[in-house]
Structure 1
């Protein structure tokens, strides 16, 4: 029996309209040949927007709360990467990660024979500490949150694209939730939270902590950059548990006008009484279809009461919305799914940008109204 979803104002679609065979699951950074990697830096796809891109690091400290994972830390520290339209394309490239972060991330992920400096040698497209090029009234801000144990640098390709299109992007590294996060003074925060990841209610604890991280980051950025950031135009996107964090942050903080969950089980609970009335995009792989393996999207779809889309990327897998396919392809490998790395990046960038342009800039985006022959891999599972 075909399952259908009906809600007030919802265009009814059957599950069959977006069903596709599940893509093969692989290690998130499934590289297998060391010989192809030695001495060759990985590269990210160039951004397509008209603006040069700058990037800078910020270290924030929230003294109003202790760290939720590390009992010896008296305050919650955050590492935030800010990407933005820049005035110049000339200058030193921003690092993808530090050498120590790269080593610890790849060792902890047990990624076969990949050289441990792969990430630190990855070539980005952003100019380090370039002078920002703003506009009168400020630019819209997009917050990014990464997957579990991953640094926010794994969303660099998306961040650079958005910055080239005129957005300020704040990527949050959540210390002690990643295998490695560099902090001031040469300190490295390793994954303390990994010791608790089998505890009951752990995932809910993570997303609530991330929501608090996001609200504090917004406070700091709005205060520090009042001329660069338009505080009335803020959105958030996250991958995996970062996508669940986007839901939790929107429930907590009304300043976030729109949100995107890229392939994340939504451990955050939306209040049943009022739902979540701000625009939201669910963008996932073939496991995220109505009646599929992840039932959280079925549950939350009914509680999203505003503009919403549920899109499935046929041929994608869990890491298709990150840099992993591009990093693998740059060294002659494949990181899972049947999409090419270039196509995975194009689809993610295109649909995320369209959503943000519609809801933060008021641009009409027919791409989000119906399936497009240009992007046949993207199936509409629901819209309203």
Structure 2
């Protein structure tokens, strides 16, 4: 069983005995004893001004609708006596100044997350739940035909952790759906006043469990796609979605799920794994010509060392590589890279940690930690601010999905960038022309 790294909201490093092949496989917050329910900051928490996520970078306003989906044809893998349930936030381009401000998370969801990290009495629960975001509930959708991006979070964390990325994708003109998988976060509110907790965090113990969880999440994402594009769609704006242009993006276990989805659902044209160990091996056929981005922290996925005789092309990241560097305890990316055909891209971010691809570092940077909670030193290799990390994630994930879903040329993906010097190209293929992209 691997020892996995998780980074708390206070930027402390926690070591967790959770299943998976490498340091970034499942990275869930530790399970903790829930403290009594509360809706205001606890005694001893640091006072904070209003917290906020950076404004989306696109020109469009963002709406958000929340869906409760029940797959009555599947039993829940962690609680088999019930049907599989999902909570989904759908972000979409909207008419400005319509709707009402959306909530970042419920107080109890934040409290349970912090309690799992042992920080519910230290960090400001209410302020975090009230984090200002750009999206508005019930906003009127802008007309158009939109590509769809499905987003799956890391184990234990919940869909709210990908809000900053989802809002940005919607501001660019896409529809983004973040998914909470039942019993796979430390606390997610479901209808009827239910707060479902992370049964999976207790029961996932082997690599086989991790692989099964990845496949289960892929089935969840396929069901979300069915629910948004089927004959009787669950979302009022379903007519906006172009079912021929779908991508899957995920963090940690969610990233593994994105890869599993491409293995099992041909409707999905592109995928992005943000720092997640892959739960299923990629076969010799790869994803059948569909685009995939491995997007990780350099510390977790430092890349591969060229085998003898592979020469300059491999060293420059333009040819398949073999062997794994001594610092890479997750061989799944090197295995996948060797089998993925074009179009494929592998990017590492210097100074990032496992949670740099989520909202958490942005919020942590805004909280004046009490001396007792502040880490004595930054985590090794962790040098990015939260805003820098979110800007990088938005820029590269947005560019990748727009490239392969919308056929828009993206110079950012072609090589090193002066705007984002922390991003290194580990491996890439020559980009085909835009005309070739549109024919896919």
Could you give the per-residue CA deviations for residues 185-217 of structure 1, whole angstroms, max 9, x where no partner exists?
Answer: 111111111221214511101101101100000
Q: Distance in 2 between matches of 1:168 and 1:99?
A: 27
**Equivalent in 65, 69, 72 of residue 81 of structure 2:** 72
With over 3 angstroms needed to count, the CA separation of the structure-2 counterparts of 1:56 and 1:275, relative to structure 1, is closer
Instruction: Report matched runs for 1:227-242 at 5 Å.
Output: 227-242=239-254
Q: Distance in 2 between matches of 1:94 and 1:379?
A: 35
With over 3 angstroms needed to count, the CA separation of the structure-2 counterparts of 1:114 and 1:211, relative to structure 1, is same
**Equivalent in 158, 161, 166 of residue 154 of structure 1:** 161
SS of the residue corresponding to residue 101 of structure 2 reads coil
1:98 is the counterpart of 2:143: no
TM-score by length of 1: 0.88
* 5+ residue gaps, structure 1: 1-24
In structure 1, the partner of 2:413 is 368
1:243 is the counterpart of 2:243: no
SS of the residue corresponding to residue 357 of structure 2 reads coil
Alpha-carbon contact 1:53-1:89 (below 8 Å) kept: no
Alpha-carbon contact 1:78-1:175 (below 8 Å) kept: yes
SS of the residue corresponding to residue 65 of structure 1 reads strand
Q: Distance in 2 between matches of 1:311 and 1:31?
A: 23
Could you give the per-residue CA deviations for residues 241-292 of structure 1, whole angstroms, max 9, x where no partner exists?
Answer: 1000000011111111000000001112223356542101111111212222
In structure 1, the partner of 2:293 is 281
1:319 is the counterpart of 2:355: yes
SS of the residue corresponding to residue 305 of structure 1 reads coil
In structure 2, the partner of 1:258 is 270
Alpha-carbon contact 2:294-2:345 (below 8 Å) kept: yes
SS of the residue corresponding to residue 256 of structure 1 reads coil
Question: Displacement, 1:26?
Answer: 6.8
In structure 2, the partner of 1:5 is none
Q: Distance in 2 between matches of 1:80 and 1:353?
A: 20
Q: Distance in 1 between matches of 2:187 and 2:127?
A: 14
TM-score by length of 2: 0.77
Question: Displacement, 1:299?
Answer: 0.4
Q: Distance in 2 between matches of 1:266 and 1:351?
A: 20
With over 3 angstroms needed to count, the CA separation of the structure-2 counterparts of 1:216 and 1:338, relative to structure 1, is same
Number of residue equivalences: 357
Alpha-carbon contact 1:34-1:114 (below 8 Å) kept: no
In structure 1, the partner of 2:309 is none
Q: Distance in 1 between matches of 2:287 and 2:192?
A: 43
Q: Which moved more, 1:333-342 or 1:238-247?
A: 333-342
Instruction: Report matched runs for 1:295-310 at 5 Å.
Output: 295-310=331-346
1:186 is the counterpart of 2:231: no
1:63 is the counterpart of 2:99: no
Q: Distance in 2 between matches of 1:187 and 1:78?
A: 13
Could you give the per-residue CA deviations for residues 208-238 of structure 1, whole angstroms, max 9, x where no partner exists?
Answer: 1101100000000013244210111100100
With over 3 angstroms needed to count, the CA separation of the structure-2 counterparts of 1:81 and 1:214, relative to structure 1, is same
Could you give the per-residue CA deviations for residues 272-320 of structure 1, whole angstroms, max 9, x where no partner exists?
Answer: 3565421011111112122222211000001111201110101111011
In structure 1, the partner of 2:308 is none
Question: Displacement, 1:90?
Answer: 4.7
Could you give the per-residue CA deviations for residues 348-373 of structure 1, whole angstroms, max 9, x where no partner exists?
Answer: 11111111111111111111111112
Alpha-carbon contact 1:31-1:114 (below 8 Å) kept: no
SS of the residue corresponding to residue 365 of structure 2 reads helix
In structure 2, the partner of 1:359 is 404
**What value does the CA root-mean-square deviation take over the aligned residues?**
2.0
* 5+ residue gaps, structure 2: 13-41, 305-323, 430-440
Q: Distance in 1 between matches of 2:226 and 2:287?
A: 25
With over 3 angstroms needed to count, the CA separation of the structure-2 counterparts of 1:373 and 1:274, relative to structure 1, is closer
Q: Which moved more, 1:81-90 or 1:114-123?
A: 114-123
Question: Displacement, 1:38?
Answer: 2.9
Alpha-carbon contact 1:245-1:268 (below 8 Å) kept: no
In structure 2, the partner of 1:87 is 95
